[in-house]
């Protein structure tokens, strides 16, 4: 990669409109948002009309549930607009304030409905069933009510639930603080390019720089990037520690054994699923060590460093893919999912669902965000390479899952569980990979694509499982009453890198502070689902390609399922049982096969 001489990031205004999302599908203007915010704020007290009365009659229960859903839907729309606006430029104080206002209102809403679950739990089962029989409209809430009763022992009195709800705005603080540090306040040094030009390191450019053929650029970018985290590591350690203390607070007040159990309980996921992932991957690290050895051999370096993990091991191949080309490739790759699926993908490209390029102050990374009263939105920081092609396919998978769930489910069941959130995105990626391998005749390009697939496995199965083990470990340390100092966090992270990558790579001291840059550590045991979702998706994509329409129909029904059933059951309906290790083992077997194939080709 050769950077041009002028590499300052563009401002938001300098990005062409065709590459920006159009938020007017949520609200026409900031003024309209403000008007509806005030309406929502004024309506919150209506919830108090049902306090202490939900058990009185089927009508009171139904009307209380309906109002809570109506207000939740309204607040979700308000939040989506404010959050998308603030992510366009995290240094824009006006939109940061807007986001803070709606977060505050969400906290008040949580407080206003905090009486509901405790009251419902106090309704005798026979009486609750009679309400449902009496009032046909209550049948909509059957699964929701069953789920509440399942967790009965972990709910407290109405007064205690109100206190917990009031605490939410405070306990969100660590994540919000980290977001501002990482996206708005943090700056990175410049490094010298191949021709001596200054290159400004950024979140969006970092991985691209690590792919550079020039090892000095890789090393300098690596050191420059982590130097900024080294300077702030004590602050970020305190922020992360505070976030974990929030997790422990909720764990203890809700009477769970530990934070992991508390996190998984909401989606009815057995703790064994989490531990099984770590154990299964830990028992299959030899293939990862073999891949590290292959990388070291092909790169012909005496010592392989962490900054050598991203550069392609197939040299003299440059697969630059423009955004326009990426759209065409994805439409071809996803043809196995049918015309209905492709029609919506085309709409996302043509109707400004996607914010494409990086600009100064824009939130880093990529995501898809769902809004029930509008189409999904996708944020990218697109660079013209194969990784960004896969990122686009990935986020479109999320968007399609949201689109189908929103279309087919009532609001209460539209948001799918985070446990299945990474399945649709990874099915898209798996189909894209198969398409590229099938249509690429050039042997060098094939090796390049295989290299990318190997990196997907490394990054999604092995790396995310390492993250999951780190997250479990630091929660356990905190739960035992030990302080999560910078030294403990860095030492623990270093040891896990040694475990997952083996002896034939230098675990550079800079990587010890990588924990400081991972936003997902603030999401309460989220990352393991990348690995489980990837494993499930590999199985599903193979079924789609081999079994045809029957497998496609089951898969689309899964996408349309939202949260109408527990995620484990929804996946079983699609054809994958994640309570067993087979899916993870199949994914790891495929990784082993790919490493062996790459060795032969090279």
Enumerate the active-site residues: 395
Report the DSSP beta bridge partners of residue 354. Answer: 378
Judge whether 382 and 441 are in contact, CB under 8 Å.
Answer: no
- Complete edge-to-edge strand list for the sheet that includes strand 367-369: 354-355, 377-379, 367-369
Q: Tokens 């390019």 map to which residue?
A: 193
Rounded distance between C-alpha atoms, residue 348 and residue 535, angstroms:
27
Rounded distance between C-alpha atoms, residue 65 and residue 68, angstroms:
5
Judge whether 580 and 568 are in contact, CB under 8 Å.
Answer: no
List Cα–Cα distances, 270 to 166, 311, 337, 564, 566, in angstroms. 29, 38, 31, 19, 12
Rounded distance between C-alpha atoms, residue 588 and residue 384, angstroms:
29
Tokens of 30: 């900031």
DSSP code for 6: -
Helices 93-112 and 30-43 meet at what angle, rounded to 10?
Answer: 20
- Give strand ranges (E) for 10-73: none
Judge whether 194 and 217 are in contact, CB under 8 Å.
Answer: yes
Select from 44, 29, 185 the least CA-distant residue to 104.
Answer: 44
Judge whether 459 and 449 are in contact, CB under 8 Å.
Answer: no
Coil/strand/helix, residue 474: helix
């Amino acid at each position: 990669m050769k950077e041009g001489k002028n590499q300052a990031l563009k401002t938001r205004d300098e990005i062409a409109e065709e590459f920006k999302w159009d938020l007017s599908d949520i609200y026409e203007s900031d003024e309209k948002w403000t008007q509806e915010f005030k309406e929502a704020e004024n309506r919150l007290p209506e919830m108090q009309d049902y306090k202490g009365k939900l058990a009185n009659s089927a009508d009171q229960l139904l009307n209380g549930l309906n109002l809570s859903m109506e207000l939740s839907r309204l607040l979700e729309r308000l939040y989506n607009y404010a959050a998308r606006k603030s992510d366009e430029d995290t240094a824009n104080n006006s939109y940061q304030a807007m986001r803070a206002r709606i977060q505050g209102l969400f906290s008040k809403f949580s407080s206003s409905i905090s009486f509901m679950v405790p009251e419902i739990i106090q309704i005798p089962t026979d009486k609750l069933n009679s309400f449902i029989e009496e009032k046909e409209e209550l049948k909509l809430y059957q699964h929701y009510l069953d789920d509440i009763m399942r967790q009965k022992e972990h709910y407290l009195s109405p007064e205690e639930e109100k206190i917990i709800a009031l605490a939410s705005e405070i306990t969100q603080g660590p994540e919000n603080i980290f977001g501002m540090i990482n996206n708005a306040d943090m700056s990175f040094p410049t490094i010298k390019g191949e021709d001596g030009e200054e290159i400004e390191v950024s979140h969006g450019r970092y991985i691209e720089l690590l792919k550079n053929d020039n090892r000095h650029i890789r090393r300098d970018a690596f050191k420059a990037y982590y130097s900024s985290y080294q300077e702030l590591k004590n602050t970020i350690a305190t922020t992360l520690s505070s976030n974990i203390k929030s997790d422990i607070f909720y764990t203890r007040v809700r009477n769970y054994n530990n934070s992991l159990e508390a996190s998984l309980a909401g989606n009815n996921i057995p703790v064994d699923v989490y531990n099984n992932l770590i154990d299964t991957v830990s028992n299959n690290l030899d293939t990862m060590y073999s891949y590290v050895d292959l990388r070291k051999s092909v790169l012909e370096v005496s010592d392989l460093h962490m900054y050598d993990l991203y550069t392609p091991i197939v040299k003299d191949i440059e697969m630059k893919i423009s955004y326009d080309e990426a759209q065409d490739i994805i439409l071809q790759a996803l043809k196995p999912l049918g015309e209905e699926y492709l029609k919506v993908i085309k709409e996302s490209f043509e109707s400004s669902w996607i914010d494409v390029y990086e600009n100064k102050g824009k939130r880093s990374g990529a995501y898809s965000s769902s809004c029930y009263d509008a189409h999904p939105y996708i944020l990218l920081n697109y660079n013209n390479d194969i990784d960004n092609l896969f990122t686009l396919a990935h986020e479109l998978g999320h968007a399609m899952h949201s689109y189908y769930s929103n279309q087919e489910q009532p609001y209460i069941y539209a948001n799918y569980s985070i446990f299945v959130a990474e399945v649709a995105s990874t099915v898209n990626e798996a189909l894209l990979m198969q398409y590229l391998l099938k249509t690429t005749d050039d042997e060098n390009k094939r090796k390049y694509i295989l290299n990318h697939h190997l990196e997907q496995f490394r990054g999604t199965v092995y790396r995310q499982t390492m993250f999951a083990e780190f997250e479990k470990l630091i929660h356990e340390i905190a739960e035992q009453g030990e302080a999560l100092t910078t030294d403990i966090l860095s030492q623990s992270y270093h040891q896990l890198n040694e475990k997952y990558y083996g002896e034939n790579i230098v675990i550079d001291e800079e990587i010890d502070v990588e924990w400081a840059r991972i936003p997902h550590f603030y999401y309460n045991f989220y990352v393991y689902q990348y690995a489980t979702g990837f494993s499930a998706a590999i199985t599903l994509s193979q079924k789609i390609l081999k079994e045809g329409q029957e497998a496609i129909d089951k898969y689309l029904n899964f996408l349309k399922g939202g949260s109408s059933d527990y995620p484990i059951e929804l996946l079983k309906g699609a054809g994958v049982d994640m309570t067993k290790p087979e899916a993870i083992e199949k994914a790891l077997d495929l990784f082993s096969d790919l490493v062996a194939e790459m060795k032969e080709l090279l």
